[in-house]
Structure 1
C-alpha cells in the first residue's frame, strides 16, 4: 500500500526469480478472461516509455515505468482487470475494469527484508483506484506489533470521513498538508510556521505518507523537538550511543521508562491535530532499547527539505482522504476494550450450579481440581514440547476449571459455554459434523448454517501456527490438538464472528476471530464442555488478536452469589497498580517471586528458591485454572512453620492429609487479627493475602491453608511454583504481553469502570 504512487501493479509472467517473488501460481494475464490490454492512445497512458519510432495507435500497447527509492523500478504494460478483495468481515468484494500494471521489476522490490509482489498505489493520478473511487481511509493499530490483525483500508463512499479535517493539496504525486506547529505536552515549540510550507519547489512541504513508519522532519522542526525530548529524557533515562548520530535511543522499554511522558501534538491548518502518545513518538528497537521515531530529513535520501509524517504518528487514527473535497480527516479511534462476564463453576449463573452444595462441597471440589490442574501443568513443563501446545486429558473439564464464559458463535448466533484457560492458546469450539463430541449445553455449532464462517486455507499465515497443522483435500488448514491421554481435538482452522456476553448484561460482536472448528474431540471426563478459550500468548490466541493485553478481576471465589468477576480484553485492559516483569515461556506466564512475609516478618527463604531455571524446570507460574497456590519445598516449609508458630498456641490441628495444614475452627471467627501474608515480586509488586485468600473452610468445623507443596502432586522432577486464583482474588490482574509486564491492583471488582 503506497499513498506516494498512483499505479496498482502486480508481477506477472514472464517474470523470473530473483526480481520476482517465486510464488505459485503467478499471475498470467494470458490465462485471464477478464484481462484487457490498454493501448497507448488510452487516456490512462501518460507515461513516457513508448517506443519513439512507433506511432501511437489503438493497436500499440501502453508501456509504463515507475521508479521507487533506491533505484528500484517496475516496468511493463497497462491493462484493465478484475480485482477481488478479501473484506474485513470474511467476505469478498469484486471491482471490475481496474487499471493495473502487468509488471516485471528491474530489481527486487523489498520492504523490511520482504520481497513484494506488487504495489497498491493510492495516489491521486488517473491510473489510481483511489482517484476513481474519490475517497479512501485507513486505520492502523500498533505498527510494530506483528500480532495485531485489525488494520483496515476502506475504499469509496464507505470511507469514514469523520473527525477533524485539514486542507489536502495534491502536489507532485504526493498528498501535502499544512503543518502549523508542534507541542510537547503543554509547551508549544518555537518554530516558524512558514518552515513547513510548500514553496513551489518539488522537495518542500509536508507530506502525509503510508510507506514510512518513522516521521522525517526538516532541520527547523527536528532540532527543537529533539532538544525538548532530550531535556525530558536525558535526566532520567540512559542514552545508548549510536553509529548514526541522528538516532536517539535509550535503554529499557517504552512501557516502563516512559510512563508519564507527555504527548506530542502536530497542529494542522483548520484546527486538526494528531496527538502522539509514547508508542507513536518512540519505537521499541530491541527488547531492552527504544528510540525516538522522529528523524531528520537530511538523513534520508530522496526527500530533500520535505517533512514526511509516517505511519507511527498516524496509528490509532482513522485517516480519511476526500480527493474531491480536498480534505484529509483525523479521527482518533479509542482503545479496544471488551469487558466479559466470568462465571465461576459454582456460581448461581453457572449451569453446573447445585443448590444442595454447601461451601464444604465447593471447597473440596476446588482443591481436588487444583491437584489435577497442577499435575497437568507439571506434565506440560516436564515434557517441554513448545511447538505442540500440549494439554493433559484433565483439560478441559468442569471439574478442573475455575471460570467459564458465555459466548455465541456465528450468524445466526449459537450460544456456547466455554472454559477460560490461561494455560493454553487455541480457541476451539465443537462443530458439526462431530465425532466423539461432548454432550454440551445447547446445540452444537454448524458452520454450514453460519453466514460469517470462513475456513482458512493452508496458505494462510495462521496455518503455520496451528497445532500439527496440515492440508486436507479441500486445501483447508487442519489442526490436531494432541493430549497426553485420550483422543485429540481435530478440526478446521477458521474465522468466525464471536459474540461475548458483557459484564453489563449486554453483548459485543467481534468479527474474524481465529478459532478451531473441532469435528473430533478428546475423551474428556465430564462430556459437557462446548469449547475452550485459550488466553495464552501464542499466535492463535484470542489475546494476540486483542493487542496482547488482558486483565481479569475476581472477587470471592466460593460465594455463589458474587456476580462481578470480569475479563477485559484489549488495549483498554486496566494495567494499573504495582508492576512486575512478565516472562512468557512456551505459552505460559511466569513471574519472579523474591520472597514471602507474614505480617512484618520477612521469612528466611533463599532468593534463588523461586528463580526460573529452564534446566531445573523451575519458576513461578501465575494461572487461572487452579484455586490453590503451590510452592516449592523450601518456600512452603518456611510459610508453614511460621503459620504453625502463630496458630499452634491456641488452635487444635485437624488432619486432612499429610500435606495440608489444617485446624479446627472457623476462619471468620478464629482468625480475627491474623496477620496478612505477602508474596513479594521483582519490581516491588506485592500480592497481599488476607485470611480469606490464604485459608479455605474445608468443613463447617475445620479450615486449611490453601497453599500446598509442589511435590505433593507426586512430581519430583519439576520445581514449579504456581500462584492460584484464591491468592489473586480481590485483585485486578493485568497482563501486558508486548510490554513484558504484569500488574496487581487490589480493588473491589464491582468498582471497575465499565
Structure 2
C-alpha cells in the first residue's frame, strides 16, 4: 500500500538567543513544511523506527557562501545534521535539492585529526575514519539496511537572516539513492537531540519550543528563551540522565520517566518494571519530533489496545483483517463510513510522566489510512503501535500526539514542559496568520 501524498505549509517562528553572532534577542519567521514521505524515499538513522511512511516536519534555511537553499527535517531523535551533497551540480540546476560544497567559499572539511572527528555519537554505527584526503569520513546506517557515506564539514548556516559560521554537519554524497518524487523535496536532516554535535547544542540555545496544529498543520517553532505571559503554565517533567553507557540506551535522547497509562480514568495495571529501562537500557521513553506516531513496548501496548478496544466496542466497528497491520506495528483498526464527517466521542488516553500528564483525545487517537477502503468504509487505525514488532526496545512519543500542545525542551534546566493550546491561535498571536 502506497499512501497518498500531501503537502501542507506551516511556518516557523524563531526567537534567536543572544549567543548568535552579534544579534540581540529578536523574533524571526522562517517557512516550514509538513510532508508525508513514502517508503524508502527518506532514510532514517540506525536507531529510528523502520516506518513504511512518515510525516516529517521540515524547515527551510540556507547554507554556504553564496547561500544555497536547503530543506531539513526537524528531528529531536537524531544528533548529527546532514545534507545530501553533490559536487558536480548546483542547486539551481539539480532536480532534487542538494548542497554543492564546491560552490561554497566558506565550506571546510573536518580533518580526521580533529577532536570533532573523534566525537562518540550513536549516529555512527561505524566510527568515523580518514579518507584519502585526510578528511573525516562518516558512515550512517538506516533502518532499511541501506547506508550513506560522506565527510564531516563546517559551513555557514543562515537562520532567518542571521549567519552562523562554523556549523558542523555531514555532507553525505554516496550510497543512498531513491527514485521517489518525494525525495526531491528534502535536502537533509537537522539533528536536535542533546548530543554535542546536534544543531541545538552547536547554536547554544538554552531551550526551544514548537506547536503544531492538528487541523491544518499550521504552527511554529521557537529557538531560544520565551517568556510569554499569555501562555498557560506548562507542566514539566524532568529529563532522565544516566552516567554510564548502556547498549540499548540513547543518552542523547530526550528521555522522560513513564509512570503509567490510562484510558479515560482507568489506570492500566502495568508493573513498574516494564515502564522503565532494564539493565541493558532497553525500555527508555523518548520524545521524538522525527517520529509520526507513538510506540509502546509489547506488554504496555497490549494492555492499552485491549482496554481501548473494550471501551469503544459499542461505538466503533473493528476491521477484522489479520493480514492488515498499519506501518507493521499498528494492528487495531476500525471501519468508518467514508461519508461520515466526524468521529464518535472516544475515550481519552493519558500518558503519565513524572510531574506531568499528556492527555490524548479525539482525532489524535485514530488516523485515516490514505487509500485504504473496504466497500463504503474507510480504514482508521489506533495511533499507538507495538514497538517490539519493529525491533525497537523503547517507548517513543511521536509528534502526532503532540499536536495542539506547546512543547518546550528546556536544556538549561533539563526538563520538558507541555500544555494544551490551540496552535493556530498561538500562531495568530505571533502575527503569522490573519
Matched residue, 1:489: 149
- Structure 1 residues 499-547: Cα deviation after superposition (integer angstroms, max 9, x where no partner): 24x6xxxx54433322223333434574534222112222211010122
Pick the aligned partner of 2:364 from 693, 705, 716.
693
Matched residue, 2:7: none
Matched residue, 1:615: 280
Q: Which runs of structure 2 are paired with 1:216-295 in the superposition (5 Å)?
A: none
**Structure of larger gyration radius:** 1
Matched residue, 1:213: none
Pick the aligned partner of 2:418 from 718, 723, 744.
744
Would the alpha carbon gap of residues 487 and 597 (structure 1) be closer, same or farther in structure 2, given more than 3 Å must change? closer
Instruction: Give the conservation status (yes or no) of the 8 Å contact 1:731–1:747.
Output: yes
Instruction: Give the conservation status (yes or no) of the 8 Å contact 2:140–2:147.
Output: no
Q: Which runs of structure 2 are paired with 1:69-218 in the superposition (5 Å)?
A: none
Question: Does residue 421 of structure 2 align to residue 421 of structure 1?
Answer: no
Partner of 1:583, secondary structure, is coil
Tell me how far 1:682 sits from its aligned partner.
0.8
- Structure 1 residues 371-400: Cα deviation after superposition (integer angstroms, max 9, x where no partner): x99xx78x63xxxxxxxxxx78x69x9x44
Matched residue, 1:626: 291
Question: Separation in 1 of the partners of 2:404 and 2:140?
Answer: 34
Please list every run of 5 or more consecutive structure 2 residues that lacks an aligned counterpart in the other structure: 1-16, 242-249
Would the alpha carbon gap of residues 449 and 579 (structure 1) be closer, same or farther in structure 2, given more than 3 Å must change? same
Pick the aligned partner of 1:598 from 239, 260, 263.
263
Question: Separation in 2 of the partners of 1:637 and 1:410?
Answer: 49
Matched residue, 2:5: none
Partner of 2:210, secondary structure, is strand
Tell me how far 1:338 sits from its aligned partner.
6.2
Question: Separation in 2 of the partners of 1:573 and 1:416?
Answer: 30
Question: Separation in 2 of the partners of 1:647 and 1:614?
Answer: 37
Tell me how far 1:744 sits from its aligned partner.
1.2
Tell me how far 1:668 sits from its aligned partner.
5.5
Question: Separation in 1 of the partners of 2:28 and 2:240?
Answer: 24
Q: Which structure shows the higher helix fraction?
A: 1
Q: Which runs of structure 2 are paired with 1:552-591 in the superposition (5 Å)?
A: 552-556=210-214, 559=215, 562=216, 564-572=218-226, 577-583=234-240, 585-591=250-256
- Structure 1 residues 394-420: Cα deviation after superposition (integer angstroms, max 9, x where no partner): 69x9x4452222222112221122222
Would the alpha carbon gap of residues 447 and 613 (structure 1) be closer, same or farther in structure 2, given more than 3 Å must change? same
Pick the aligned partner of 1:729 from 403, 408, 411.
403
Would the alpha carbon gap of residues 525 and 533 (structure 1) be closer, same or farther in structure 2, given more than 3 Å must change? farther
How many aligned positions are there?
A: 374
Would the alpha carbon gap of residues 628 and 431 (structure 1) be closer, same or farther in structure 2, given more than 3 Å must change? closer
Question: Separation in 1 of the partners of 2:261 and 2:31?
Answer: 32
Tell me how far 1:580 sits from its aligned partner.
0.8
Matched residue, 1:711: 388
Partner of 1:618, secondary structure, is coil
Question: Separation in 2 of the partners of 1:593 and 1:440?
Answer: 46
Tell me how far 1:567 sits from its aligned partner.
2.6
Tell me how far 1:728 sits from its aligned partner.
1.1
- Structure 1 residues 590-614: Cα deviation after superposition (integer angstroms, max 9, x where no partner): 2111112222322222233211224
Question: Does residue 8 of structure 2 align to residue 343 of structure 1?
Answer: no
Would the alpha carbon gap of residues 573 and 622 (structure 1) be closer, same or farther in structure 2, given more than 3 Å must change? farther
Would the alpha carbon gap of residues 631 and 448 (structure 1) be closer, same or farther in structure 2, given more than 3 Å must change? closer
Matched residue, 2:138: 479
- Structure 1 residues 436-471: Cα deviation after superposition (integer angstroms, max 9, x where no partner): x9x975554333322333334445442332753344
Instruction: Give the conservation status (yes or no) of the 8 Å contact 2:73–2:290.
Output: no
- Structure 1 residues 347-383: Cα deviation after superposition (integer angstroms, max 9, x where no partner): xxxxx8xxxxxxxxxxxx6xx79xx99xx78x63xxx
Matched residue, 1:546: 203
- Structure 1 residues 47-76: Cα deviation after superposition (integer angstroms, max 9, x where no partner): xxxxxxxxxxxxxxxxxxxxxxxxxxxxxx
Question: Does residue 135 of structure 2 align to residue 463 of structure 1?
Answer: no
Q: Which has the higher contact order (CA 8 A, sep 6+)?
A: 2
- Structure 1 residues 724-754: Cα deviation after superposition (integer angstroms, max 9, x where no partner): 2211111122222342211112222231554
Partner of 2:317, secondary structure, is coil
Instruction: Give the conservation status (yes or no) of the 8 Å contact 2:63–2:69.
Output: yes
Query: Could you say what the CA RMSD is over the residues aligned between the two structures, in angstroms?
Result: 3.7
Instruction: Give the conservation status (yes or no) of the 8 Å contact 2:343–2:363.
Output: no
Tell me how far 1:637 sits from its aligned partner.
2.5
Question: Separation in 2 of the partners of 1:582 and 1:419?
Answer: 23
Matched residue, 1:664: 335
Instruction: Give the conservation status (yes or no) of the 8 Å contact 2:239–2:255.
Output: yes
Question: Separation in 2 of the partners of 1:612 and 1:338?
Answer: 40
Matched residue, 2:157: 498
Instruction: Give the conservation status (yes or no) of the 8 Å contact 1:469–1:477.
Output: yes
Would the alpha carbon gap of residues 444 and 609 (structure 1) be closer, same or farther in structure 2, given more than 3 Å must change? closer
Would the alpha carbon gap of residues 409 and 671 (structure 1) be closer, same or farther in structure 2, given more than 3 Å must change? same
Question: Separation in 2 of the partners of 1:590 and 1:337?
Answer: 29
TM-score (norm 1): 0.44
Would the alpha carbon gap of residues 487 and 573 (structure 1) be closer, same or farther in structure 2, given more than 3 Å must change? farther
Would the alpha carbon gap of residues 646 and 487 (structure 1) be closer, same or farther in structure 2, given more than 3 Å must change? closer
Would the alpha carbon gap of residues 632 and 564 (structure 1) be closer, same or farther in structure 2, given more than 3 Å must change? same
Would the alpha carbon gap of residues 345 and 647 (structure 1) be closer, same or farther in structure 2, given more than 3 Å must change? same
Question: Separation in 2 of the partners of 1:741 and 1:722?
Answer: 17
Question: Separation in 2 of the partners of 1:336 and 1:610?
Answer: 41
